[in-house]
Chains A and B, each alone.
Chain A
Amino acid sequence: MNETEGMNAKQKLGYYTQKFYDDAMAAHDKGEFVCWSSSIAPSEFFRTMGIHIVYPENHAAAVGAKHGALEILELAERKGYTMDNCSYSRINLAYMDLLVEEKVTGKTPEALAKLDELKIPRIPLPDIIIMCNNICEVLLKWYENLAVTLKVPYVVIDVPYVYEWPIPQRAIDYVEAQFKRAIKQIEDLCGKPFDYENFIKVQEQTQRSIAAWDKAMGMASVVPSPLNGFDIFNFMALIVCARSDYASEDTFTTLADELQAKADAGIDAFKGGEKTRIAWEGIAVWPYLSHTYKALKALGTNMVGSTYPSAWSIHYEPGDLKAMAAGYIGCYYNTSLERRVDVLGGVMENTKCTGILYHNNRSCKNMAVMNVEMAEMIRERTKTPFASFDGDQTDPRNFSEAQFDTRVEALAEVMEQNMANAANQNA
């Protein structure tokens, strides 16, 4: 744990992210088990047994952010997937094919070599996969296809949709039973009994990591914000990939300290240029991350509000399997419209947002189909303006810079007008 001594949070993020991918490859090469996991599936069981986990969604986002998406998306389309399917899944399913081809032929397919050239980290083929559908139902189909093609053990943690908050007891009982089955599947894979003692330790680590994450992300509520909102998108990588590891606790603790020091010194992320504060609802547009960031920054708009941080804030008492089940079921993206408005409204109030931007994400029906209602209800509750734009998390073909720029400019103008009006009324 000394290896990160003296590093700042950003350096730690870079170090651990790289290490995380390197470790998974090394583990695979040594014949240790590697698991592919959806982004908010319980990592605790696998880390307990020393199984390395890689996250296809995180990997796909990296492919998108490093501009490697287009060609691999086309590979998926050749197989019969449509452009209308989630671009994360298309990238991953095509990537899987490339890994299989490489394994079978012993030759690196050209498309894979190209991704290597772009310095996109490799992920090894999995020995087991786990899917938890608390972020969308597409995962059910995506991982079903992985399972049938790779013929590896498939752990399904099916969390039924919480159409009415709170979570019904029957859903908790059902998911708890699935946890027990997952443990059995992992025991079968490892050929040894599940280590319940270590399980508690891993759960405790997970809770410490989440607490550090909450603390760091909480700094976005300071006005003006010491946290540049797009760093939420950047640091997210670790809460996704290393939630049950010390790596994330280490990084987020440092990040929280840095942000606190900045806040104490009165330094904000835009160096005094923060004019307006918005929430961003939905996934980032990875291939245009820099464009979207710069467009907002040029307007003095800091994206401080996001439901992302809370999505990984899965709180429970270590040892309490039912509480852990409830934590995974109650993920924001698996909840009712009312609950989502409640959470998002709370985020906007905590972070003092003066407006909100909705990403109509072509890849994500779950995060787009209720946007119209969310926008109305949030406006009612927060009395702030909103704008929405068409985009896609990783398919560069479904986003228009011009449309984005126009929409965020208009939003900024309305927010500034509102602030001017409010100032006049107070004067």
Chain B
Amino acid sequence: MHVLGLDVGSASSKVVILDENKNIVSSSVFQVGTGSSGPARALDEALGKLSLSLDDMEKIVATGYGRYAFERADKQISEISCHAKGIFHLIPTARTIIDIGGQDAKAIRLDGSGMVSQFFMNDKCAAGTGRFLEVMARVLEISIDELEEYDSKATEVVNVSSTCTVFAESEVISHLSNNVPKENIIAGIHASVASKACGLAYRTGLEDDIVMSGGVAQNAGVVRAISRELRRPVIVAPNPQIAGALGAALFAYDEAKKH
């Protein structure tokens, strides 16, 4: 038996396939999200590795912003529940999840059995999300993947305090024109994202263990900034980008076992 979880985010598409024993037998990530070819390509790749087709899947659960756009899903479940499920499966000691995705930041509180007991999401604005990092990377003329490396070389964290993305952009530009090293500016940008995410996280009560998931968790600079802000160790989920898809696959597994 195989079950499939599909996470169609705003900026990327992720697939996880589980076998009878809840083992991840295939997964894929494409850096384009809802409304693009991303979901189809992620599905093709994950299924292709096993030489299987969608028809071979016992149950399919979709999550993420584009969850309703995928007609083959048996069920749609929100990304909050899916991230919680995925993370708790990987790290059963997780009680607080900080998930920063392309356009959302979320903080989730779990109880001892992995159930969501409270959650908080960011306002509509882009501050504190992956989108904010993208805009800043563009201003700094580096790729989003390089942010982490620059951050590791920072000697100082400069202040990037504006919440408004446009204002923050002008703050960054003025740092650049004052010859502040990019490394230090990037550390400041990461601190700004961390401060927004932590604002949500504090409201959960911050029980250990604190786990980060979502695409932005791959950026060690942001993780460091969050850990610094919370003054607590922060665990990064293995392969954090697929935590939501894994959760969806686990829900699909439960569905399959129900019948």
Contact = CB atoms under 8 A, between A and B. Distances in A.
Do chains A and B directly touch (beta carbons under 8 Å) in the complex?
A: yes
Interface of A: 70, 74, 77-78, 80, 82-83, 396-403
Contacts of A396: 161
Given A74-B195, A403-B170, A398 B163 contact: yes
A402 B174 contact: yes
A402 B203 CA distance: 34
Sort A-B residue pairs by CB-CB distance and give the 4 closest, nearest first.
A400-B167, A78-B202, A397-B163, A402-B170
Interface in B61-105: none
**Mostly helix, strand, loop or mixed at chain A's interface?**
helix
A399 B123 CA distance: 19
A74 B202 CA distance: 10
A77 B199 CA distance: 7
A83 B163 contact: yes
Given A78-B199, A78-B202, A78-B203, A400 B171 contact: yes
A401 B174 contact: yes
Contacts of A402: 170-171, 173-174
Contacts, number: 36
B162 A398 contact: yes
Nearest to A78: B202
Contacts of B167: 397-400, 403
30 contacts: A70-B161, A74-B195, A74-B199, A77-B199, A78-B199, A78-B202, A78-B203, A80-B203, A82-B123, A83-B163, A396-B161, A397-B161, A397-B162, A397-B164, A397-B167, A398-B163, A398-B164, A398-B167, A400-B164, A400-B167, A400-B170, A400-B171, A401-B170, A401-B171, A401-B174, A402-B171, A402-B173, A402-B174, A403-B167, A403-B170
Interface in B126-171: 161-164, 167, 170-171
Given A78-B202, A401-B170, 9 more contacts: A70-B161, A74-B199, A82-B123, A83-B163, A397-B167, A400-B164, A401-B174, A402-B170, A402-B174
Contacts of B203: 78, 80
Nearest to A70: B161
Main secondary structure of the interface of B (DSSP, over half): helix
A403 B174 CA distance: 11
A396 B203 CA distance: 22
A78 to B, nearest CB: 4
Interface of B: 123, 161-164, 167, 170-171, 173-174, 195, 199, 202-203
Nearest to A403: B170
Contacts of B202: 78
A70 B203 CA distance: 17
A286 B140 CA distance: 30
The residue among B167, B202, B203 with the most chain A CB atoms within 10 A of its own CB is B167
B37 to A, nearest CB: 37
Contacts of A70: 161
A285 to B, nearest CB: 13
Contacts of B161: 70, 396-397
A403 B199 CA distance: 27
A83 to B, nearest CB: 6
A400 B199 contact: no
Nearest to B198: A74
A398 B165 CA distance: 11
A1 B25 CA distance: 84
Contacts of A83: 163
A74 B173 CA distance: 25
Residue of B123, B161, B202 with most chain A CB atoms under a 10 A cut-off: B161
Contacts of A403: 167, 170
Contacts of A397: 161-164, 167
B161 to A, nearest CB: 5
A396 B173 CA distance: 17
A259 B79 CA distance: 65
A397 B162 CA distance: 4
Contacts of B123: 82
B175 to A, nearest CB: 11
A403 B161 CA distance: 15
Contacts of A398: 162-164, 167
A60 to B, nearest CB: 17
A401 B160 CA distance: 12
Most buried by B among A83, A396, A397, A398: A397
Nearest to B170: A402
A61 B181 CA distance: 32
A83 B163 CA distance: 9
Nearest to B164: A398
A398 B123 CA distance: 16
B210 to A, nearest CB: 15
A25 to B, nearest CB: 30
The listed residue with most B CB atoms (<10 A of its CB), out of A70, A74, A80, A400, is A400
Contacts of A401: 170-171, 174
Contacts of B173: 402
A398 to B, nearest CB: 7
Nearest to A83: B163
A401 B161 CA distance: 12
Contacts of A80: 203
Contacts of A399: 162, 167
Contacts of B174: 401-402
A82 B171 CA distance: 23
A366 B145 CA distance: 45
A396 B229 CA distance: 18
